[in-house]
């Protein structure tokens, strides 16, 4: 049996880091919990280096072909690890000295491990294991960092997660019964000749479970409630990192079942359109910035599903998808970090005059929101342009048009946020805390993420070659 556990070194480093933080944090006094944060950061940096080294080698598989180490897995590992590192920056201001600080760091690492497993799995049973490894810590993260509102948000997330988990395992069971196995190579060969109704039930069940984790339609209802009710650390993490693994798993799964049958690519296009439209329309009426961003992430899942509809039909599909994932992660973290730096500003109108009082924070917010819209030269612009091109090459010209229309639509509700931020403050307007104190880390994280978003957009041509490569089944 070909196990090759060394190929899972990034996952092992992050998981062991979580164990060390969990156990070691129990013996650290509250004022020295920063040590646990430092250990978590070292584990994430180590995983990033290991993943980058693995990407320089050939595509390989581990554990009897149930886990692929290819360009998609490598990119997802790096994006997930670095994004979680940025989330630690948000947590450094919000959670420093809290009773559950080290516990939260450990849960972040465990959930990130599950994200990496989801991204690389090529077997339905491993997919279920990765799903659970992401889900269970995520419930704890939401509940620990949000007080009473966080407890309610965690319960809603748990109930939706239980439903989606049932649907996922139902889909896996049906596909196992039809194909006689769970590895993707077998599914690719057997499913085209299997009963269409059974295959449809199984595939839709698996997609429903993964779309819950990604926060996309139809199991998206928990996202705005969770982002509004929990703390800034949890909101930043849950709207960014789990999407990475879930959407890579969606891409890999759809690419597998669509060989010789393009109907599932059309389903992916329909899901992309629905998520874009629902998320954008719902976000337009929000007044709470975190809830607005929650609906925005639903829409962004739709944009990220666009290249899935071109999987196997366009050479641009995979690199554009991975690049968009990285670009979205940076812009989304920057936006949420701004809200974490101003935790008591829970209405869009509260941001009036931000540019005059905190120009650096206002600039980071502007870059983040324009980045989410897809404005050049920011990275999301490159992502949207290339994913729309991939959809066009894949024979879905209508989907490219949907991307453009929804990008214009999203501009209006983002304007409702950064317009007051750059407006002249009123005499009785909201006051903004001076730089320093607990808000220093989130503000710095917002600046770093916004700068990285700009840099990634400018250097897109140099980084593109690293994202080109086949999927390994």
What is the model's pLDDT at position 1? Answer: 47
CA atoms within a 13 Å half-sphere pointing along the CA-CB vector of 363 = 8
What is the model's pLDDT at position 118? Answer: 96
Tokens of 256: 């597998």
- How far out from the chain centre does Cα 333 lie? 10
- State the pairing for strand pair 60-62/67-69: antiparallel
What is the model's pLDDT at position 439? Answer: 75
- Chunked into runs of 10 residues, the chain (473 residues) has average pLDDT values of 82 96 86 89 97 91 90 96 96 83 93 96 95 94 77 87 94 95 92 91 96 92 91 94 97 89 88 96 93 96 96 91 96 96 90 90 95 92 94 92 93 90 74 74 94 93 75 70
Query: Residue 78 in contact with residue 56, Cβ under 8 Å?
Result: no
Tokens of 428: 């009785």
Query: Residue for token digits 């556990």?
Result: 5
Q: Which residues pair with 67 in a beta bridge?
A: 62, 121
What is the model's pLDDT at position 57? Answer: 86
* Residue-range domain boundaries for the chain: 266-473
Nearest CA-CA partner of 186 in 312, 66, 43, 363: 66
What is the model's pLDDT at position 428? Answer: 63
């Amino acid at each position: 049996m070909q196990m090759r556990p060394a190929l899972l070194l990034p996952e092992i480093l992050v998981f062991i880091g979580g164990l060390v933080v969990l156990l070691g944090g129990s013996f650290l006094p509250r004022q020295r919990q920063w040590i646990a944060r430092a250990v978590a950061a070292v584990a994430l940096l180590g995983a990033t280096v290991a993943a980058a080294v693995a990407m320089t080698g050939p595509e390989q598989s581990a554990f009897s072909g149930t886990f692929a180490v290819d360009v998609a897995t490598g990119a997802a590992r790096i994006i997930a690890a670095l994004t979680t590192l940025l989330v630690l920056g948000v947590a450094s201001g919000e959670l420093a000295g809290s009773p559950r600080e080290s516990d939260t760091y450990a849960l972040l690492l465990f959930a990130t491990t599950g994200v990496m497993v989801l991204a690389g799995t090529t077997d339905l049973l491993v997919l279920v294991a990765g799903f659970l490894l992401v889900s269970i810590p995520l419930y704890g993260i939401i509940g620990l960092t949000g007080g009473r509102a966080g407890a309610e948000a965690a319960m809603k997330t748990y109930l939706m997660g239980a439903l989606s988990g049932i649907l996922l395992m139902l889909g896996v069971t049906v596909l196992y019964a039809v194909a006689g196995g769970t590895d993707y190579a077998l599914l690719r060969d057997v499913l085209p000749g299997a009963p269409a109704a059974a295959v449809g039930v199984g595939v839709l069940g698996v997609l429903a479970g993964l779309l819950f984790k990604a926060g996309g339609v139809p199991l998206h209802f928990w996202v705005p409630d969770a982002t509004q009710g929990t703390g800034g650390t949890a909101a930043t993490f849950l709207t960014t990192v789990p999407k990475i693994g879930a959407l890579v798993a969606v891409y890999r799964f759809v690419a597998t079942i669509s060989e010789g049958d393009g109907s599932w690519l059309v389903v992916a296009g329909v899901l992309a359109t629905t998520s874009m439209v629902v998320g954008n329309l719902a976000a337009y009426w929000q007044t709470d910035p975190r809830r607005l961003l929650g609906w925005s992430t639903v829409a962004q899942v739709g944009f990220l599903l666009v290249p899935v509809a071109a999987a196997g039909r366009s050479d641009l599909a995979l690199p554009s998808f991975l690049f968009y994932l990285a670009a979205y992660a940076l812009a989304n973290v920057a936006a949420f970090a701004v809200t974490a730096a101003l935790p008591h500003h829970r209405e869009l109108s509260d941001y009036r005059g931000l540019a005059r009082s905190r120009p650096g924070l206002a600039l980071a917010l502007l870059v983040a929101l324009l980045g989410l819209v897809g404005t050049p030269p920011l990275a999301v612009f490159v992502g949207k342009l290339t994913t729309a091109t991939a959809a066009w090459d894949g024979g879905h010209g209508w989907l490219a048009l949907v991307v453009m229309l929804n990008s214009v639509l999203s501009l209006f509700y983002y304007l409702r946020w950064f317009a007051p931020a750059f407006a002249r403050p009123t005499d009785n307007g909201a006051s903004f805390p001076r730089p320093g104190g607990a808000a220093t880390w989130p503000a710095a994280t917002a600046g770093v993420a916004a700068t990285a978003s700009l840099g990634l957009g400018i250097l897109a041509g140099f980084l593109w070659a690293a994202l080109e490569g086949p999927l390994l089944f």
